[in-house]
Structure formats: C-alpha cells, structure tokens
Structure 1
Amino acid sequence: MSGLRWEMTAAGWIKADVLTGGYRTLIGRTAPFNWVLRKTENAKTAEFVLQGDTAQVWVTGKTSILDGYWHHLAGTFDGQRAVLYVDGLEDASVQTQELIRYSASSKIAIGGRRDASHSLKGMADDVRLYSYALSPSAIATLVQQGANAIPRVTIVPGIPTELIKQFNNTVTLNANVYDPNPEDTITGTWTVTNPQMAPFVSFGNPHAVQTTATFSQAGVYTLRLAVHDGQAGLEGDIYDEIIITVNEPVCSDLLVYNQVVGRYQNPLMSSDIGGPEGRPDCYVNIYDLWVLAAQWLECNDPENEACSL
C-alpha cells in the first residue's frame, strides 16, 4: 500500500450526521495530502479527490448522502480515470493523465485527517483499501454484501411539463428505480404534494412506476414518486418529483387548419369566421355576421354559381 500511484480503490459505508457542514472524511491519506474519499464541504454529496504530480483531480458526486441512511462510497483510479460510486452506481468520473502523488510521511486515516481535522460526524463501517481499481461489478458486489442499500428513484427526463386543460391534460409518467439488492421488492406510490391540488389529479395507477396523470383544473402541480424496499423509505423519504403546469386554453389552442379551404377554423364555433389577423378569434361579432350574410346571399343567388361556404 506504500505506492498507490498507478491504481487504487477506497471504499466503505458511511452514515453522516445530516446536520454536518464541512468536509467529513471516510478514509484518506493526508498530511501531506495524497487522496481522500469523503463528504463534500457544505454540500450533501460525496467526493473522491486525488493529488496528482502537477494538479489535483476532483471527482464530485451528484447524489445526496445526507438523508439519515447508510450509503456505500467507493473511489477508483486506474491510471487514466477516477470514478466515484454511490451505492454501487457511478456518480461522477474524471479523465486524467495525472498519477497519484506519494508522500512517505503521509498516513492513512479513517474518519478524519491525520491532523484531527475534517472528522467524520456519524458512523463508518467496512472501510476497505485496494492497490488496484475494482471493476463496476466488483463495486456492486461490495454493496450487496451490506445489510441493506437503499433504493433510488429518478423520474425520467422528457415528460411534458406544460399542459393545456381539456386538450392535452393527460401525461404519461415514468421513472427509473434502482435497488442494489436484487432480492428486494420495490413499492412505489405517486402523490400530489399539495393536498389542495390533489382532488384535481387522477392517476391511472398510483402504485405503478409507469402510469398516467390527468388534470381537471389549471394550476401548478408537484407530483412525487416515493419508493421503499420494505425497510428503507417506509416514511416516504426516498422520492423524486416533477413539476407540471396546466394552463387554461386560449383561442389559438382551439383552431384547426383546414387544408381544403386554406384557412384556420374554430371547430367549436362555426360562426367564428375571422379576427383582426384574419384568423378566428373565438368571438362572434359584427364582422363575422357580415361575412356570414354575404356568403348566404352569394350561395342563394340563382345567377351566381360561385359559393365560398
């Protein structure tokens, strides 16, 4: 373990105090600094930081680990790429040509730095160090050896978030749910976070990850998909959300272009002939009545074979 310049893996379980703010070290070789696996300073994510010969390599994750649950962290380096894993999934990576600096006076420490700073406020378990980069499948195996890794849910991108009442007021919902423990049964539930808006949303199946939601009133809705595996998430605290805005329809939403006559028409108001821009304006006014009267006279004139109706 004296080198660890070309390859390495640091891994372990961490349950950090949800109120902690600064760096919280799981394991590292510091004083002087060589590498560390820890919670990010003033953030809820994890990071894997390497001191190269000429520059530092920072791999900062995106997944929160400050939720009151145990999380498995792993940082690997194979000489070209540094990777951070959270609960068996790759959370971030950085390509680099740097090699890890080796300082003979540095010491490996768990739960803090050698100088007693950046201490972990929380708990750690099964902390490991390898002189080579573990594969993604090997990382997943480490996670599965734990008591229970929590499930993760992410609502898929691309779901329409702007709808129009009465016209396209139904949306298909879907999410990716991951659980590193293959024997677990995942249960999910869709809800509306604002109780006052809940009566205006109808889910096709609120307990299906892929379902539909139909809205009967305009407004802004926050839909939440919460999951649990029978152990973690029973309090509804493992979830993802999507915000959907349902707008009242405007006149342009009603119009349909008729290719036969070459103009827009209002299918709900046949007497709505045209507005200021030559398109129906969802009002029947004097102009519309004048056009209808002119067309009636034109089409009922025995000597006029032309008819614009």
Structure 2
Amino acid sequence: MIWIILILIVFLMILLFYLIFMKMQIRNIKKQLDDYNSGELNKKLDIVLLDKDIESLACSINKHIDINIKAQVKQKNSESEIKKTIASISHDLRTPLTSVIGYIQMIISKELSFEKQNEYMHIALKRAKSLQVLLNDFFQLSIIESPEYKIQNKFVNINNILYEVVTDFYDSFLQERINPNIDIKEENIIVIGNEVAIKRVIENLINNIVKHSKNYVFIELKKDHNEAVLTIINEANGIKENEAELIFNRFYKGDSSRTDGNTGLGLSIAKNLMEKMNGHIYAKINNGLLYIFCKWRIGE
C-alpha cells in the first residue's frame, strides 16, 4: 500500500512538473509573439522540444512568421518599384511637357516669323503626341498587369499578323533608313494565342527597332518542334550581356547617362502580353547584337 502511495506521489509530482513546464513554454511563446508583434523581435520562436503538441504549434506559428516576412519583403519591393516607376514617369513626362510649353510660349510671343511659328507648332505637336503615346502605354500596362485582365486564346495564323505589321512599318523603315532582313517561311504557322495581343507584341518589338536601331536588323519566323519562334535581332546599343532581361522592365534605360536610352513601356507591355497568352519572351546579347525571342505553342 505504501509503495502504491509513493508511486502515486511520484506520478503526481512528475505530472505537476510537466504542467508547470507546459505553462512556462506557453508563456514563453506568448512573450516571443508579443515581442515579435511589437517589433522588438524579428526571428522565429525558440522552444524546448519536449512536447509534440507545443512543437507542432510553434512550427505552425513559425511558418506564419515566414509567410509574414515574405509578404513584408514583397510589399517593400513593390513600394520601391512604385516609387521608381513614379520617378521615371515624372521624368519622361516632364521633358516633353516642358518642351511643348516652351515652344507654345515662343509661338504666342508673336516675335517669330510665320515660318518659324509654323515650324515650332509642328515640333510642339510632335512632342505632345509622344506624351500621348507614353500615357496610353502606361494606362494599358496598368490594365494588363492586373490579375483580373484575362486573354482569350484561339488558333491564330501568326504569319498573316507578322506580314501585316511589317507592312505597316514600311514607311518608318524608309524614314529611318532601315533595311531589315526578313525571313518568314512560306508554311503558315498556327499558334495558340490572341490575335490582338500578338499584333501588339510584334508592333512593340518592331517599334523598338525603329527607335533604337540604325543598321543591322533581322526578323525571322519559324517552326521549332511544337513551338513557333519569332526572332528579332538588332544593335544592342550599349546594353550589357548581364542586362539583357532588364530591357523588359518598365522605363529601363540602356545607358542611365542618356535620356534617349529609354525603352519606354513597349517591351514591358510585350512581356506581360506574352505571359498572359502562356507564351515566352526573353532576350540575350551576343557580339553587340540584341536577340529577342518570342515563342508560342503550335495549335494542333
């Protein structure tokens, strides 16, 4: 009988010790959570792993902390990206807007000849149109980047779209003295995509050529296994090899010391549209030339 009582006393003492330890662990977790929430602590919970349930609870809390930290980092990066975007927009809007205001002020001063007034009017109109293009591009990019923006993919003849876009840019090629080498296979290539989106992608890529290329230009469309591949090659204009993928970033400048190095929003729009179509676009630099590849899945 005495042995049973002793065993019960020992058992109760162990149980009491265990309950006290559990309470201490819970208080420790609460304190660490309070410190984390107040900003005094920025790390995962530290616990003595003697109870599976408390260990499981702490692991769940630590996973939540990881998710929270990643969300905070993402938010900071997003805020930084927004600030950079606003700064770039402000810069790109300020320059042509200041120019337009300056020319208009000179025109209304009535101190210029009729010929000069007419010349400055056309210059001001040209700068105003560039502003309009920039604003339209930024508006479209904000829509395309929205998760709610969806694209309906269908079977599309990409040859016809490429022929149409190249023809539309014929006058621009002549004006810029660009003689592109174009290789489009006679076989019609049917891809899974959206006709309007594909046309916009190709327009933006060729418009980038017109802006930034003066000599070598190569445009090729071919079938590669189960993909259609559009390759556009032109001068890299100082873009370094490790910066190739950066050209798809908003307002990327190939040379930060030159305002004319700005690629604007066209390539960023192209990348977003390709992703919405489940296509793929990427770039690389080789021997001073910029290669841009667009890939769509072939329609069965």
Short-chain TM bin = under 0.3
**Normalising to structure 1: TM-score of the pair?**
0.20
**Normalising to structure 2: TM-score of the pair?**
0.20
Structure having the higher strand fraction is 1
Structure having the higher helix fraction is 2
